[in-house]
Amino acid sequence: WDTTRLLTDRITDAVVDELAGNHAASRARIRLLLLDAVLGQHDAAWLAAFDTDRAPLDGLAAVARNAGWWWPYEKAAVLCERPVELHRDENGRLDRGDGPALAYPDGFALYAWRGMPVPAEFLNGLASLTPERIRGEENAELRRVMLEHYGYDRYLADSGARPLHRDESGVLWRIDLPDDEPVVMVEVVNSTAEPDGTFRTYWLRVPPRTRTAREGVAWTFGLAEDAYTPVRQT
């Protein structure tokens, strides 16, 4: 239910923004109207815990299977279509890099990258990113999205970054960003070979204060550097 609640909150906020803009009184009225909605398919998260083949929940379940949000009144009901597109990441957050993460038949849509709202036009430029454009983005949150989409390893290679430290645990890299904390990562090589005999490289995000690769790897296990003494790695 938690991920569904976050989604319904996002929809509510977006509808209020689109219909009322910055007009405070209108925003309040629209938000109250949306609070009266029965959530249709988004009620499935809690309906699944009950027997919905009989009264009193059979009607709610039938609507949930066939419609989106709806408003029942004494002599009429207003129903919305279900979304035609819904894209989430492994944590249930709205996530799509090449289009709307949530879209309805009437054109209403939400754009997001790993749960963070982004402008539609922002996504259109992700395919042509360059290190210079990433560094030039003033919005720190959007800059992080750019880095994630571009790839930290690719950014390090294309921007001519140099390693800060190297030891038996891996290589420590640092990306300095304007008006934001630096991105510090440890490059590690999987000790287990792939089926083709190669060894896969991974990038571990670690705190900016990290000074050695070993300290960074230890942090990912919740350990201090001097307590990280692996006997065998697999």
pLDDT 10s digits, 110-156: 999 888 899 888 888 888 899 888 888 888 888 888 888 888 888 88
CA dist 38 and 163 (Å) reads 55
**CA distances in angstroms from 218 to 150, 205, 232, listed in the order given:** 27, 12, 14
Cβ neighbours for 129, distance < 8 A, ≥ 6 positions apart: 146, 149, 150
Does the global pTM surpass 0.85? no
Is the pLDDT at 50 greater than 60, yes or no? yes
pLDDT 10s digits, 62-113: 999 999 999 999 999 999 999 999 999 888 889 998 899 999 999 999 999 8
pLDDT 10s digits, 164-175: 999 999 999 988
Query: Domain-by-domain residue ranges, the chain?
Result: 2-123, 131-227
Is the pLDDT at 3 greater than 90, yes or no? no
Residue 1 — very low, low, confident or very high, per pLDDT cuts 50/70/90? Answer: confident
pLDDT attached to residue 231: 65
CA dist 50 and 46 (Å) reads 8
Q: Are strands 201-206 and 77-79 parallel, antiparallel or unpaired?
A: unpaired
Higher pLDDT, 160 or 212: 212
Higher pLDDT, 11 or 230: 11
Backbone angles phi, psi at 13, to 5 degrees: -60, -40
CA dist 151 and 65 (Å) reads 39
CA dist 64 and 20 (Å) reads 28
- How far is residue 131 CA from its own chain's centroid? 22
Answer whether 70's CB lies under 8 Å from 37's CB: yes
Nearest CA to 116 out of 136, 85, 89, 86 is that of: 89
Answer whether 86's CB lies under 8 Å from 95's CB: no
Q: Spell out the alpha helix ranges (H) of 41-128.
A: 44-47, 58-66, 120-124
pLDDT 10s digits, 174-218: 888 777 888 888 999 887 877 777 888 888 889 999 999 999 999
Answer whether 21's CB lies under 8 Å from 55's CB: no
